[in-house]
Amino acid sequence: MRILAVDPGSKNLGIALSDPTGSIANPFTVLKHISRPANAAAILEIADSNDAKVIVVGQSLDDDGEPTFEGRRAARLAAEIQSLSNDTSVILWDESFSTVEAQQARLALGSPRRKRQGHLDDLAATVILQSYLDANKEGRANKDD
């Protein structure tokens, strides 16, 4: 089953999509922020056209594990997506350090400095999605024990 992830931001929304087995996250696209209802509809359209039945929305948390201002905005986006769909599960997932990890991944890949400029939204969504996939893979493995 494919899973879609969203790295919500005030200007852009990064989108990542898993492979059909739900094991590997891949960057998919970046959407420009329009409005919460428009963003939710666009995300659902991408999920539907790619047969994704789960949408993971990155949520930033503070040191106490409480949602930050941006984390509360992510929760409202997740609620909007859920309200528009009956058959898609929407899950909030801790996105802490996803942008930093995306920057480090770009450096590790040896990207030239000029190509490191610009948005990392789709890569940050990929980090969020891979974190979710890995955590759920471990949970499935423990169930099998």
pTM: predicted TM-score of the whole model, two decimal places: 0.82
Task: State the SS3 of the chain.
Answer: CEEEEEEECCCEEEEEEECCCCCCEEEEEEEECCCHHHHHHHHHHHHHHCCEEEEEEEECECCCCCECHHHHHHHHHHHHHHHHCCCCEEEEEECCCHHHHHHHHHHHCCCCHHHHCCCCHHHHHHHHHHHHHHHHHHHHHHHHC
Query: How does residue 52 score in pLDDT terms, banded at 50, 70 and 90?
Result: very high
Write down the domain spans for the chain: 2-144
What is the dotted CATH code of the domain comprising 2-144?
3.30.420.140
pLDDT at 119: 59
- Residue 117 reports pLDDT greater than 50: no
- Residue 108 reports pLDDT greater than 50: yes
pLDDT over 70 percentage in the chain: 79
pLDDT tens across 9-32, in order? 999 999 999 999 999 999 999 999
Q: Are strands 25-32 and 12-18 parallel, antiparallel or unpaired?
A: antiparallel
pLDDT tens across 55-97, in order? 999 999 988 989 999 999 999 999 999 999 989 999 999 987 5
pLDDT at 72: 97
